[in-house]
Amino acid sequence: MKGVILAGGSGTRLHPMTRITNKHLLPVYDKPMIYYPIETLVNAGIRDIMVVTGGNHAGEFLRLLGDGAEFGLKHLSYSYQEKAGGIAEALGLAEHFVDGDRFLVMLGDNIVEQSIAPYVDNFRAQQRGGRLLLKNMDDPEHLRHLGVPIIENGRLRFIREKPQTPPSPYAVIGVYMYDPSVFEIVRALRPSGRGELEITDVNNAYIDREEMEFDVIDGFWGDAGESIDVYYEVIDFVRAHGVNKAPAMAGR
């Protein structure tokens, strides 16, 4: 199983800090932000990773990460997204790297307290399809800025993007697991109103096929690229509690 970390984007929500660097290279406590998703994947048993980045600072990832040996990787590959075309478009750049294997996609600004290894094992046990990780959110207002699933009888029925009235207390976090058929879905997508290929459309296509499973994660989850305030909240949590801890029991 392979891993893909998406580390592109303009990082406008963290301006002015991102005017001179990619947001995923900013420090989160004592490490660059990009270190955390790499460690998350390595702790889940993934040793073959591609980093997809873009913009004017892509070369800095190579200088920082090298061949990935520092993290215990067998291979660390890179791909370049020429323009901001959405998460799903960036995903499509990994098709040759994935080469027919199953894989996990993680947004490079997502940081989790507990190991995701149990959920990756659940995905490995699936015969086909995809798997999403969700987080039960205490603040309903926060859900209005995220993807929120409709769940009926323990099954995903639809994901609404940034709903004014959230249909559940769960957020779709930036960790997605797919079989190789995801690239057929990506090729069939049409750009959204903002001109991008949306990952929510990919996930809803799997739901329409009844081939999308999910787990609800335990512990802290933070999107360090969400805003300046959240960025510092994530740093405070990492400093006080640490992240990527030993595997916890998988939840539903």
CATH number of 2-246: 3.90.550.10
Considering only the C-alpha atoms of the chain, give the largest distance between any 2 of them, rounded to a whole number of Å: 48
Asked whether residue 252 carries a pLDDT value surpassing 50, the answer given is no
What's the whole-number mean pLDDT along residues 232-239?
Answer: 97
Of all residues in the chain, what percent carry a pLDDT higher than 70? 95
Mean pLDDT for the chain?
91
Residue 165: how many other CB atoms lie within 10 Å: 9
Strand residues in the chain grouped as ranges (E): 2-6, 27-28, 31-32, 48-54, 75-81, 103-107, 110-112, 114-115, 130-136, 147-152, 155-161, 170-178, 212-216, 221-223, 245-247
Residues in CB range of 222: below 8 A, 6 or more apart: 110, 111, 230, 233, 234, 237
CA of 132: how far to CAs of 184, 216, 241, in Å? 18, 9, 25
pLDDT digits (tens, 9 = 90+) for 83-121: 666 788 888 899 999 999 999 999 999 999 999 999 999
pLDDT digits (tens, 9 = 90+) for 153-193: 999 999 999 999 999 999 999 999 999 999 999 999 888 77
Domain boundaries, the chain: 2-246
**Per-residue model confidence (pLDDT) at position 250:** 44
Residue 219, both tokens:
């512990």
Of all residues in the chain, what percent carry a pLDDT higher than 90? 77
